[in-house]
Amino acid sequence: MSLQNIRVVLVNTSHGGNIGGAARAMKNMGLSRLVLVDPLDFPSSNAVARASGATDVLDAAQVVSTLEEALVGCNQVFGTSARDRRIPWPLLDPRETGSVCVDQVQGGGEVALVFGREYAGLTNEELQRCHYHVHIPSDPEFSSLNLAAAVQVLAYEVRMAWLSANKLPSKQEKLETTSMLDAQPVTADELEHYYGHLEQTLIDIGFLDPQKPRHLMPRLRRLYGRSGVSRLEMNILRGILTETQKAVRGEPHKRRSD
Amino acid sequence: MSLQNIRVVLVNTSHGGNIGGAARAMKNMGLSRLVLVDPLDFPSSNAVARASGATDVLDAAQVVSTLEEALVGCNQVFGTSARDRRIPWPLLDPRETGSVCVDQVQGGGEVALVFGREYAGLTNEELQRCHYHVHIPSDPEFSSLNLAAAVQVLAYEVRMAWLSANKLPSKQEKLETTSMLDAQPVTADELEHYYGHLEQTLIDIGFLDPQKPRHLMPRLRRLYGRSGVSRLEMNILRGILTETQKAVRGEPHKRRSD
């Protein structure tokens, strides 16, 4: 198991200093993989100053322009969020996040911890790309943590879970059982392709009105996002969509032979 | 019980920015009592900038010249420390610290969390004034946390312990959010009806051959069975099947209106 499989994704960060502080917090906790989505101030001398020796993390940071690119290859995505959202989503506290995250990585998966803008957080659309939302249990009267401080709390909980997992061999055995090839979850980008296919199929059968989509796709995203769909299951789900589209067009059946 | 009985003591801090960052981290976690022992840069505009709204904590900060003064009235003192000291001392991790600290405060005691200088930490003499040493389990290769980040980790663990001691208000709220009718899982018999409907639909679209079913249904059962499908999600899934069957039969669309 490697903490290399855990990436920290900072979306649209305004202040280079916060990127540096996040890099330092990561390195302190043994994390090294930083992805910056459209940062407003990077590279930055403030980032280097606040990184205070974690410049290797900054130098190796990957800069991309969309969250989608940042999540390529991820099996599980955790997005930090304020508590109240209109559509309830699987919500974890930092401790649970550390534990779920390390379980996933021990099974060979890749995970992303996603942090939003300093003032506005993540958009609803970005949050819907996350399989879990994470809320740091701050005082409701003064709830917004500094970005680097939020990275520190989650990185700390990941490290606590990792240290604990590396002391408990029985837990590792248990995880090996569930990490058989069948149970390997698909990546975030594969899930996105599925959602695109699903949406088109729902339009084709007349269930989804693109003019009035309501909350249909977010709700389906939430369902499949939390299910940890395996590669084999994804093949089945995609197969069902393809056959549904053919059947609606009146094309001849092709029986499945797995 | 009041978190007012927990004071954060910063000894001989060099940078005002770190004092401000510590104040913000404290206030985020519901702590308010800050004591500064001989600070080198306070009051400070950098402190105000990094406090980002926690100026009330800065304004109320008590400035003293010795650690002894800072600890007056304390029943228990926790000092942050690197791991290896020549004199073995009761050593806690941040989680244990949160728990011991909250136990003490619940019994009416007063406690202090003491943080040393940015570069040199606490002296051996200062550490010997502490009843417990606290070590944040950082990567030994890069172990020194930013001061405000260290305050954030301990304040977070105090808050987690405090929420837990107060019958988990945050967790209860969380459960309320996710146990709304939306998140209420369906019953086993409703799931069985769904599987029956799903199987028939897969036959209708030609994806499932009833003569050669292979492992298709068991695999789909495993997927949906572990997902904790809610009543609302079940309505969506059943709706999709019904519309698929109609579309395959060439019946007119009925748009969904939820």
The reported pLDDT for the residue numbered B222 is 80
The minimum CA-CA distance between B138 and chain A, rounded to whole Å, is 5
The reported pLDDT for the residue numbered A254 is 56
Q: Which helix (H) or strand (E) holds A227?
A: helix A216-227
* Residues B53, A159: C-beta atoms closer than 8 Å: no
Average pLDDT of chain B to the nearest whole number: 88
Comparing B2 with A1, the larger pLDDT belongs to: B2
Cβ-Cβ pairs closer than 8 A, A with B, add up to 203
pLDDT band at A178 (very low <50, low <70, confident <90, very high): very low
* Residues A152, B138: C-beta atoms closer than 8 Å: no
Q: Does B191 touch chain A (CB under 8 A)?
A: no
By Cβ distance, the residue of A30, A53, A233 closest to B219 is: A233
Average pLDDT of chain A to the nearest whole number: 89
The reported pLDDT for the residue numbered B219 is 85
DSSP state of A3: G
For the cut 70, the answer to whether the pLDDT of residue A170 exceeds it is no
Query: Within 13 A of A251's CA, how many CA atoms are on the CB side?
Result: 9
Q: Does B54 touch chain A (CB under 8 A)?
A: yes
In chain A, ranges of CATH 3.40.1280.10 domains: 3-178
Cβ neighbours of A252 in B, within 8 Å: 206
Looking at 2.60.120.650, 1.10.8.590, 3.10.20.600, 3.30.420.40, the CATH number of the domain A181-248 comes to 1.10.8.590
Cβ neighbours of A186 in B, within 8 Å: none
- The predicted model gives B114-142 an average pLDDT of 92
Under 8 Å between Cβ of B82 and B134: no
Comparing A84 with A179, the larger pLDDT belongs to: A84
CA torsion through residues B199, B202, B207, B211, sign: positive
The arrangement of strands across the sheet holding B111-115 comes to B62-64, B33-37, B6-11, B111-115, B76-80, B132-134, B91-92
By Cβ distance, the residue of A83, A95, A148 closest to B160 is: A95
- The predicted model gives A126-139 an average pLDDT of 94
In B87-198, the DSSP E strands lie at 91-92, 111-115, 132-134
Chain A residue closest to B156 (CA)? A153
- CA A130 from chain centre, in angstroms, equals 5
Chain A residue closest to B183 (CA)? A88
- The predicted model gives A231-238 an average pLDDT of 92
Q: What is the pLDDT of residues A52-110, one digit of tens each?
A: 999 999 999 999 999 999 999 999 999 998 766 666 788 999 999 999 999 999 988 99
Q: Which residue has the tokens 């980032």?
A: A47
CA torsion through residues A52, A54, A55, A58, sign: negative
The minimum CA-CA distance between B251 and chain A, rounded to whole Å, is 10
Distance in angstroms (rounded) separating the CA atoms of residues A18 and A10: 10
For the cut 90, the answer to whether the pLDDT of residue A256 exceeds it is no
Q: What is the pLDDT of residues B142-152, one digit of tens each?
A: 999 999 999 99
The reported pLDDT for the residue numbered A187 is 87
SS3 per-residue string spanning A169-186: HHHHHHHHHHCCHHHCEC
* Residues A142, B28: C-beta atoms closer than 8 Å: yes
Task: Give the CATH superfamily of B3-168.
Answer: SPOUT methyltransferase, trefoil knot domain (3.40.1280.10)
By Cβ distance, the residue of A54, A207, A255 closest to B243 is: A207
- Over pLDDT 90: what percentage of chain B? 64
Cβ neighbours of B136 in A, within 8 Å: 156
* Residues A209, B256: C-beta atoms closer than 8 Å: yes
The reported pLDDT for the residue numbered A2 is 75
CA torsion through residues B42, B48, B53, B56, sign: positive
- Over pLDDT 70: what percentage of chain B? 87
Q: Does B144 touch chain A (CB under 8 A)?
A: yes
The reported pLDDT for the residue numbered A188 is 87
In chain B, ranges of CATH 1.10.8.590 domains: 181-249
The CATH-assigned architecture of domain B181-249 is Orthogonal Bundle (1.10)
For the cut 80, the answer to whether the pLDDT of residue B188 exceeds it is no
Cβ neighbours of B172 in A, within 8 Å: none
- Over pLDDT 90: what percentage of chain A? 72
By Cβ distance, the residue of A21, A136, A227 closest to B227 is: A227
The reported pLDDT for the residue numbered A222 is 87
The reported pLDDT for the residue numbered B53 is 93
Q: What is the pLDDT of residues B23-64, one digit of tens each?
A: 999 999 999 999 999 999 999 999 999 999 999 999 999 999
Say which CATH topology domain A3-178 has.
Answer: Alpha/beta knot (3.40.1280)
- The predicted model gives A224-253 an average pLDDT of 89
The reported pLDDT for the residue numbered A20 is 98
Q: Does A54 touch chain B (CB under 8 A)?
A: yes
